[in-house]
Structure 1
Amino acid sequence: MSLALPSAGRRVAAAVVTTALLVPLAACGSDNGTRKDTRNKTGTSATDSPEADLTVLAAASLTDVFKTAGAAYEKAHPGTKLTFSFAGSQELAAQVRQGAPADALVTADTKTMDALKTDTGAATVIAKNRLVIATGEGNPKKVQGLKDLADTGLKVVLAAPEVPVGRYSQKILDAQKISVNPVSQEPNVRAVLSKVELGEADAGLVYKTDAATATGKVDAIEIPDAQNAIAEYPAATLKTSENAEAAEAFVKWLSSPEARKIFTDAEFQQP
């Protein structure tokens, strides 16, 4: 036989049952007070970098180093994915002017970046580079320096004059009053390097860092400082970016000690 509880007793019993159900739920939500939310009201992670998928337009000579830098950035900033689009700086500039969807830009010269001031945020130089003469492995033609490039029996390839490395190349050749008749003028530095690697050219002017990526395939002949040119790599956000805060965080990181070590390990110079 069951006994009916007075109404006051029923209310007390219901309160006890409700409290018993809520305690486990509260404990689960707080993880016993040890779990912390890693995001704040603005969507920023614990690393103070917003989650986003970023597209970065970058000079061809940054191909290898940015693969390393991108992996390091993604590891340190969970939730951020980087996609790089590599090409000659002049091609990147054309893409920006045509409104290509992207978040940041890194060119191989300040001239190209300066011409895009209305499309970018403030630019910061993140690294520098220098030129070398790339020859076939073992330097079969015995190229010693810039003057040898004037030899009409030597097949020399250069980047086109509108490409940063092409301008740097012409600048140092003109300074030494050396006339070169290239067998071809390529759209970016990687195309110049490829021609030498494949034996389609005996020599070409490339960045030191590009020659370093082809060790065992090409030799790099150093050019003295007094005859050389220094390339600068400015980075900036794009004003059309839909991920402005995340893009700014990445561009800022490119000047961090971690990023600079990655660049110096790849033989780039400090800015």
Structure 2
Amino acid sequence: MRAPRHRARPGHLVRPAAAALLGLLVTVGASGCGTGDVDSAESSTLVVYAAASLQEPFEELGEQFEAAHEDVEVEFDFAGSSTLVEQIQQGAPADVFASADEPNMDTLVDADLQAADPVPFATNTLMIAVPTGNPVGVTDLASLTHDGVHLVVCARAVPCGAATGRVEESAGVEFAPVSEEQSVTDVLNKVTTGEADAGLVYVTDVKKAGDEVEGIDFPESDSAVNTYPITAISDSAQQELGQEFVDLVTSESGQRVLDGYGFGRP
């Protein structure tokens, strides 16, 4: 089974399967049959733009989709939802968009770039992530404001940053983060590498980090539950195929995959 790939970036190696295909094409082209009528199977690439927090479950769903569509390759671009929306508005070739919140999806809808009404497919809540052993003794949101605690959060334009603002208001605290990141993955990386004493990330991020971090619940997280919507893109030449991926994500089997990574159901 092929593994779904990320968007190609400068300097990335050609995947082995792609290299093998290229070699086969060169061999066929050099065989000198002389007719020029050699038939080749047409393949399609479905490009899915998805919030960074969706990487693991979507890669698994991508494998399922490819298994059911043998001539389709799923290519992912994972980043902050606001960044992805901006890229789509500027003409990036996305076939599907999955956002980590509704406001960023609303931006896409306001630009009339949705092929159908966006469908909610998951929820997520915030959790405090600290390095294993919790070196500075973080216990709750208030302790994140103590002197000497190096806190990292998401920028407010990013869904996890907007959620951070809501819990900050709900708890009546004011954070002074040492940095604001453009994706929740970047926040988690700061914690796992020891660059931060604590970070506000999603429950799903703490789950996937395993023994690298410890998670601390806080009651105010209930005030900032993010709902994740998904839609095919209206400018896509593969709207039907894109809708099939949306249908997989929202199906019972898709929901079970998301359950396994700690996401809630809408």
Q: TM-score range by the shorter chain?
A: 0.7 to 0.9
Cα separation, 1, equivalents of 2:126 and 2:256: 21
Q: Structure 1 residues 103, 190: CA separation in 2 closer, same or farther (over 3 Å shift)?
A: same
Q: Structure 1 residues 226, 96: CA separation in 2 closer, same or farther (over 3 Å shift)?
A: closer
Q: Equivalences for 1:54-203 in 2 at 5 Å?
A: 54-117=46-109, 118-121=112-115, 122-203=117-198
| 1:181 alignment partner AA | A
CA RMSD between the two structures = 1.5
Q: Structure 1 residues 226, 195: CA separation in 2 closer, same or farther (over 3 Å shift)?
A: closer
| 1:83 alignment partner AA | E
Q: Structure 1 residues 212, 152: CA separation in 2 closer, same or farther (over 3 Å shift)?
A: same
The gaps in structure 2 that reach 5 residues or longer are 1-42
| 2:159 alignment partner AA | P
Cα offset, 1:253, TM superposition: 1.5
TM-score, length basis structure 2: 0.80
- Asked if the contact 2:126–2:221 (Cα under 8 Å) also holds between the matched residues in 1, the reply is no
- Asked if the contact 1:155–1:182 (Cα under 8 Å) also holds between the matched residues in 2, the reply is yes
- Asked if the contact 1:137–1:219 (Cα under 8 Å) also holds between the matched residues in 2, the reply is yes
- Asked if the contact 1:89–1:107 (Cα under 8 Å) also holds between the matched residues in 2, the reply is yes
Q: Which residue of 2 aligns with 1:220?
A: 215
Cα offset, 1:227, TM superposition: 4.9
- Asked if the contact 2:50–2:99 (Cα under 8 Å) also holds between the matched residues in 1, the reply is yes
The gaps in structure 1 that reach 5 residues or longer are 1-50
Q: Share of identical aligned residues, percent? A: 37
Deviations 1:207-230 (A, max 9, x none): 010111111111111122665421
Pick the structure with greater CA Rg.
Answer: 1
Q: Which residue of 1 aligns with 2:242?
A: 247
TM-score, length basis structure 1: 0.79
More displaced 10-residue stretch of structure 1: 72-81 or 253-262: 72-81
